[in-house]
Amino acid sequence: MARKKEKTVFFCKECGHESTKWLGQCPGCGQWNTFVEEVIKNDTNLSGEISSDLPKTRPTKLKDVNYDEFSRTSTKMEELDRVLGGGIVKNSLILLGGDPGIGKSTLLLQVCKNLANQDKKVLYVSGEESLQQIKMRAERLGDFSKDMYLYCETDLSDVSREIINNSPDFVVIDSIQTMYNANVTASLGSVSQIRESTGILMRLAKEVGTTIVIVGHVTKEGTVAGPRVLEHMVDTVLYFEGDRYASYRVLRSVKNRFGSTNEVGVFEMNEDGLRQVNNPSEYMLSGRPENATGSIASCSMEGSRPILLEVQALICETSFQIPQRTANGIDLKRVNLLMAVLEKRARVKMSFCDAYVNIAGGLKIKEPAIDLGIALAMYSSFKNIPIDEKLVAFGEIGLSGEVRMVNMAEQRVLEAKKLGFEKVILPETSANSLKKISGIKIIGVKDVSEAIKAL
């Protein structure tokens, strides 16, 4: 009897680069110590088996392709539809990542319930839970339609045959790390298993005509576990963020071939599932302290939506040899840069102080327009001066201390006015480009020193 052909290869855990030998640094992504050894056997071919079951396709002329502009299906959850770009697109492959216990399965069960109630055929595939466990969680969400099917299986060949034979409209794979491809001898969750399994599911989504959502575990750095090529293969990448011990949840789109990226949806976890938060600005600002120093409202654009949030700072004299610096929800390097600008350009000596900066509400902000809010919050805490509760500040700060122009300034000001704020500090260039807005005072500033005087 002929022996099974096997070969040993090395994969990069970050980008999926393949090599015949171990390398210290990956030539694909430049990361160090990311190569893992895996054994691949060539005696079976799951991809070939699936190809024989799929309908054959022929090349089509571009002018003969019918594009239905309204081919999206609503999930009946406005926040999720916003992040997806208007709803679920047929034949798409969606990746949903998030920390354990954050609510990924709960969100998808609610989506399955809404789609099944629209007479859509839904298949929920779980490799982590039993039928009874899923049923217990589903009972908290209400009554499900008869077209909702559960399937507990980890063998990808069996899952693929069920998808081909039953042709469901919507499929959930929970999770991709539990799917086993017989063509790969590596352990569950390995680089090659995840990559090959995702490739097969992508073919099923495109050729069978179903929408597939795969759930991905995340690493301690907060990214989806497995090779980075996994995110390149799918059509949409969603991240479910938030503190598992708090009630808020933030759904963020970081890749979307059918809509804009960086859109966010805000949810609140209740006993009966996830509830949409239609006005996240009001939700993020709830519970603000009165007459407290180091607290200011700022505005960040998440996609096309302005969100007002509270920036908190605590500056105190250090009791250590080296001052401690901590940032939550904002890049720590950005905080250090703003402290250096305040010290050099505004003569605010904070080099001997500990600094703690927090974005209340759990949002992770990368937009530089929040710089001015952070700088004023640190100044307020350092000088022990309370900031007017009806004041909003936003703007990007440069190394020379200048406050630079930000986009969509009018939308930010209108959002602040809607929530009852009376003053806005923003870059002078942005203030000059605004139309006249009654009911709110516009204060344009050129640099950090002018912004401090405006307080």
Q: Using CA atoms, how far apart are residues 126 and 96, in angstroms rounded to an integer?
A: 14
Is 100 annotated as contributing to ligand binding? yes
Flag whether 127 is marked binding: no
Q: Residue 215 corresponds to which tokens in the numbers above?
A: 């759930």
- 99 appears as a binding residue in the annotation: yes
105 is in an annotated binding site: yes
104 is in an annotated binding site: yes
Q: Is 21 labelled as part of a ligand binding site?
A: no
3-state SS string for the chain: CCCCCEEEEEEECCCCCEECCCCCECCCCCCECCEEEEEEECCCCHHHHHHHHCCCCCCCCHHHCCCCCCCEECCCCHHHHHHHCCCEECCCEEEEEECCCCCHHHHHHHHHHHHHCCCCCEEEEECCCCHHHHHHHHHCCCCCCCCEEEEECCEHHHHHHHHHHHCCCEEEEECHHHCECCCECCCCCCHHHHHHHHHHHHHHHHHHHCEEEEEECECCCCCECCCCHHHHHCCEEEEEECCCCCCEEEEEEEEECCCCCCCEEEEEEECCEEEECCCHHHHHCCCCCCCCECEEEEEEEECCEEEEEEEEEEEEECCCCCCCEEEECCCHHHHHHHHHHHHHHCCCCCCCEEEEEEECCCCCCCCHHHHHHHHHHHHHHHHCCECCCCEEECCEECCCCEEECCCCHHHHHHHHHHCCCCEEEEEHHHHHCCCCCCCCEEEEECEHHHHHHHC
Binding residues for ATP are 98-105
Binding residues are 98-105
